[in-house]
Amino acid sequence: MPLHSKLAELPTPHTDLAHCRQTLSGGSRSFWVASQLLPPTLRNDACGLYAFCREADDLIDEGDDADAALVELHRRLDGIYGGEPQERTVDRVLQRIVTQHQLPRTLLEALLEGFAWDASGREYQTLSDVFAYGARVAGVVGVMMAVLMGVREPKALARAADLGVAMQLTNIARDVGEDARAGRLYLPRQLLKDAGIDAEAFLQSPAFSPELFSVIERLLIEADRLYKRSESGIALLPVGARPGIYAARLLYAEIGHALLKCGGNSVDKRAYIGMAGKARLVLSTPKWVTLNKVGLNEPALSECQYLLDAVKQAQTEQSTELHHNSLFRRIYRRMVWTLDLFAALEARQQAAAAGHGSALSEGHS
């Protein structure tokens, strides 16, 4: 193979990012459309973060051994946070993102825990259980995106987590039939029971009914509440990032609206938004200047609070480290100054002693 061909195959930050962008464009179309409204640097970081999330999800979901995949993913995080990423495109990109933005490892571990819940077939009995799952697979993504923007204000992070969980609730409502046919159930089993639906029987033979609609509708009502609450947090993001995040909020919420418009039947069909509908929503993003400010002071979902605590802890540790470094530098400078002073005093004393000795010799001569 010619040398120039070999050189062309060598990975560079540019080719690594190109790979991540390709992963995003072939994955979540709604997120891809929204990402085009983000500032270039943030768009690149979002692509890199999404590429790792997508690759981790695929390794666990589609591999032969989910437990082994999780062990390997944690090993990859060891390399990323240890400054020695594996020779993988997404690992190199993520290592740069982690270093540049001081992204707490707890956040990425939360994501892997959510994927592990998928692999283990975890059951979700209550709405709180579903929120806890949403916190790990989507709320944490909202928090990480905020950190990438340099935002660490707890109120803004709480609303970012709200947006992520709302998106996951929308996904769950949209994919009820698809998930059930794969043996998965994310609808709260207690809500199904209250509606007169046997969860195991539904998994064996998924069928749409008015009773099921009531459960799906409840999930979408909760999602809509969180979407509206998230807007106040979008107003705290950097100005250049607001249109893209607002677009994502509009696009995902519209999926839920489209589902309700078609009767809520997500067992036999999948609600989606055509490109014309997406374009219409994207064109409406200038409305972010009049974002709803209600809900900013609402506490974070209790299921998401530990994500905010992780960011706060990392910030405290970073500040402490900087303080210690600064303190060390001050002590070091003072030590050097003191040693220099002692050396100067000693030299002066020696000079004085030498001069005194010389004067005595002259007096005797």
Cα-flanking dihedrals φ and ψ of residue 253, to 5°? -60, -35
Average pLDDT of the residues of the chain: 82
Q: Read off the pLDDT band of 360 (50, 70, 90).
A: very low
What is the distance between the alpha carbons of residues 40 and 46, in angstroms, rounded to a whole number?
A: 10
What is the distance between the alpha carbons of residues 196 and 216, in angstroms, rounded to a whole number?
A: 14
Residue-level pLDDT at 276: 76
Sequence-distant (≥ 6) Cβ neighbours of residue 225 within 8 angstroms: 166
Q: What percent of the chain lies above the pLDDT cut of 90?
A: 54
Residue-level pLDDT at 51: 85
Burial category of 169 from C-beta neighbours within 10 Å (exposed 0-12, middle 13-18, buried 19 and up): buried
- What angle in degrees, to the nearest 10, is found between the helix axes of 210-234 and 154-174? 150
219-269 pLDDT per residue, tens: 999 999 999 999 999 989 998 888 888 888 888 999 999 999 989 999 999
Sequence-distant (≥ 6) Cβ neighbours of residue 139 within 8 angstroms: 160, 161, 162, 164, 165, 168, 301, 303, 304, 307
Residue-level pLDDT at 47: 83
Q: 123-303 domain in CATH 1.10.600.10?
A: yes
What is the distance between the alpha carbons of residues 242 and 234, in angstroms, rounded to a whole number?
A: 6
pTM score of the predicted model: 0.79
153-174 pLDDT per residue, tens: 999 999 999 999 999 999 999 9
